[in-house]
Structure 1
């Protein structure tokens, strides 16, 4: 009885173990019967890339500059007389031609002054004419008075002889002497009048010249009651209104010339030396600017005579080729400056440069790093290109333009197209 019971207990304990053993055996058999896949050899991946074909040429590096339109001809017009503002034929922002009237002043007071100056001149001219007539008369009378002196002298001599002969009285002799003295005094006064003629004439001429100068000044003041444009340009501001009374020196208007516009832009010091050398050799330094949809051509006229404190370059002053555009003063423009041309430069997209000095040439489907020297930038059809030089590169070399995060010499690549053809398609 006990043995039977012990057998049942042993049977219950062994049954799970038997089931586990059977399951393990089945799994082992299935693993043995599973088909084994054929072994495959790992294939190296080829990265799809785009390239550009190099072409060595003489190229001009370019700089992007920020310019501002200005002019050396900007005038501030002020009043020359004291007068009331009568009218404003032109207003701020209007375009004017040379000698156009900008402001009209009341000329009543100035006309009165002109009339007074004209009267002064007429009076002095009359006095000068009187002096000429008096001089002519004095010369004629002087000859007569000399004759009278001679007659008086003869009379006195005759009376003296008669008195010596006791034929005449002393009183007649004294009377003849007085007549001689009176004639001599009159003659001396006439001689003095004739002698002083030149000084009186010069004095009157000086007064007349002063009066004529004052008259000319008053006539100029009369002309200046019309404030005119000194050149063709645009009115920046009108600082008076009709009815205001202005005084000499008071600012009335400001305008600038539209025919002498310049663009001021700062050229970095690194390139300023090359630009200055070109100017000294009379070689043109050109630039382009966009104004709306219009491309403007400019030529560097000169460099500024000073470098502002804290500035990283020197200001260049550019003149427009042909007619200056209708642009407001102080407007900013984006300039593209063409630096002197350099031989043997390659133009590549920005994406072709790695680590600021490395390009990758594609040789037999693999990358090859090449050290290059960066010469500058160039902007073609709105796209930036890098200009580089290297003795290890030549015309026709394909250069990687796709940015690969794992670019390294020896990396296998597959050329999918050319960056040149892609740009042409765009």
Structure 2
């Protein structure tokens, strides 16, 4: 998710046209939003839902689907999953959308089969790279930053497709092999000193490379699994990213269900459940810490963002998911609800060094962008994990903070939304749509 000069066509017409059934499904969804949030918000939602399908997805001859971020011509395992989030509610009733998601799952699994340490891939062996001088020169790989969520997101997408439709065509021999690899790699990285993975980039930006000749900062054993980079694509300060570990624990439960119910592979199911428990126990033992002293909430127990098992603790949150704020969305069955509620209070307060306030908005940002910028993704997550009133307020806030573009951006100045990063960021579009559809659901419940 590295920030690059825009290469996509943000003003391009919607071409090719959508399948008629998909078109009707999206129009009906947007009309539900219009009924509760007005014409402008509903129009933004409809345009965003269409734009992702028409301008980011390329379907291959084999039925797989390649998804770019919107402004970068590469496919991230994380982004290509989150970009599809608002469409998942329609899978049971719209076969063409189910086919599209199946195509994305096929491509994601093929990518992980090729290189489970990479975070972003090219559409074929094009040789394109974020940095041509990186150690990894595989022509299929755009970037080889190892991020735990890059393993977890494709698993959860395959699981949701299966549960929503009952289809198992994507859960083939390759899928079986890849899910075995996911479990084995997460377990190997519990003891990173045994790992072959290295990432080194010739740069003066410390978050763009790993210390110690590409091995990362030292870590002790905690039971959690190591990650070189965060969901922001920034290097971890400490090697155990707590929200990524809890997300991986949730994904491992999905692996266990698929392994047991689809493949009757009890060994893989048992391994996945056992490792999930180890990650949860590790997060509880090492990743739950006292609220930072001297701040509101002092004395509560909260989730740290990162730890190293050697005494290093980083209390913050980042807008990119999996984040601490997003845990009810990505790790609902493995989080501690009481710890998360205290963590939410921390994240949405000045105690979080990446919570920013301006005259227009307040919200979570990221060290990945300019200081003081608020991310619409985090505003959407705040709403999705909050109350119906939160959702309505934040939906309107995101729409009003578009900088006059009718687009949802990566980040914006909370006192001047005309100052923003990334003219077109499909993940932000999709999270705005997911929030809007949740608002519509609230109104009908």
TM range (shorter): under 0.3
Greater helix proportion: 2
Greater strand proportion: 1
Greater relative contact order, per chain length (Cα 8 Å cut-off, separation 6+):
1
Q: TM-score, normalised by structure 2?
A: 0.17
- Please tell me whether Structure 1 or Structure 2 has the larger radius of gyration of its CA atoms: 1
